[in-house]
Amino acid sequence: MTPTRRGPWQVTGTREVYRNPWMRVREDAVLRPNGSPGIYGVVEFVPAVGVVALTADERVYLVGQYRYTVEEYSWEIITGYSTPGEDLRLGAARELREEAGLTAARWSPLGRCHISNSVTDQIGYLFLAQDLQEGAPAPDETEELALTTVPLDEALRRAQASEIVQAFSLVGLYRAWHHLRRPAGRGTPGEPQGGGAPTGGPASII
């Protein structure tokens, strides 16, 4: 291949190492920023979607499941993969319906985040779902899920106490709290807000 640049890195070649329906692993031959040759492994994923599903009295839905990679049980917001070419909000709605049996009449974008940008190119897109209607969950056959609701303030306390540790969920919970508490007329939903952290109440744990 013709050498290309990625910032201070120069890519001189690439090869596919592994592929399955959900991910692809490639290995790039590179010249590092200091000019020395090396390799860089990248895990490619489709975008992820995450949903902070909030009831009218500000209880958030959390999904519990055993995570094979870290060998731990984890409580998280509703998350999943989008499918190629799928509208991200529709993908979020699908995951909300499948994992929690919920539909939402009101959606607010909470922005994006990198999942682990040293090894994967995956980007996560977050949404706040409100005006919820309950139905029957339909999880994937590979999933064994538990479902609960807790007050949003309690979810933030658990996040601060490292009882909720999945990074995507942490970003979603904190952004949802700031989205709901931002001053009227300030900023755009889903965009970072300026200024320091508020004081008092649950903001004391942020």
Give the pLDDT confidence score for residue 55 in this predicted structure. Answer: 98
By residue range, what is the domain housing residue 12? 4-45
Report if residue 199 sits inside a domain.
Answer: no
Residue with tokens 């999945």: 166
- How much is the average pLDDT of 35-50? 96
| CA angle (85 as vertex; 79, 88 as ends), nearest 5 | 35
How big is the chain by its Cα radius of gyration, in Å?
19
Burial label for 106, CB within 10 Å (0-12, 13-18, 19+), is exposed
56 located within any domain: yes
Phi, psi (degrees; rounded to nearest 5) at 104: -130, 135
194 domain-assigned: no
**Sequence letter at residue 1:** M
Phi then psi for residue 81, to 5 deg, are -95, 145
- Count of residues for the chain? 206
**Co-location of 22 and 63 in the same domain:** no
In a domain? residue 147: yes
The 10s digit of each residue's pLDDT in 188-200 is: 444 433 333 333 3
- Give pTM, 2 decimals: 0.85
* Phi-psi region at 148: left, alpha or beta (left = phi > 0; alpha = psi -120 to 50): beta
For Cα atoms 75, 79, 82, give the angle at the middle one, nearest 5 degrees: 165
For residues 33 and 105, state if they share a domain: no
For residues 110 and 33, state if they share a domain.
Answer: no
The predicted pLDDT at position 197 comes to 35
Same domain, 9 and 89: no
Torsions phi, psi for 158 (to 5 deg): -65, -35
151 shares its domain with 136: yes
More confident residue, 205 or 79: 79
Q: What is the DSSP code (8-state) at residue 203?
A: G
Query: Are 89 and 140 in a shared domain?
Result: yes
Q: How are strands ordered across the β-sheet holding 59-67?
A: 72-76, 59-67, 146-151
CB–CB of 29/43 below 8 Å?
A: no
- In this predicted model, what pLDDT tens digit does every residue of 114-173 receive, in sequence order? 999 999 999 999 999 999 999 988 877 777 899 999 999 999 999 999 999 999 999 999
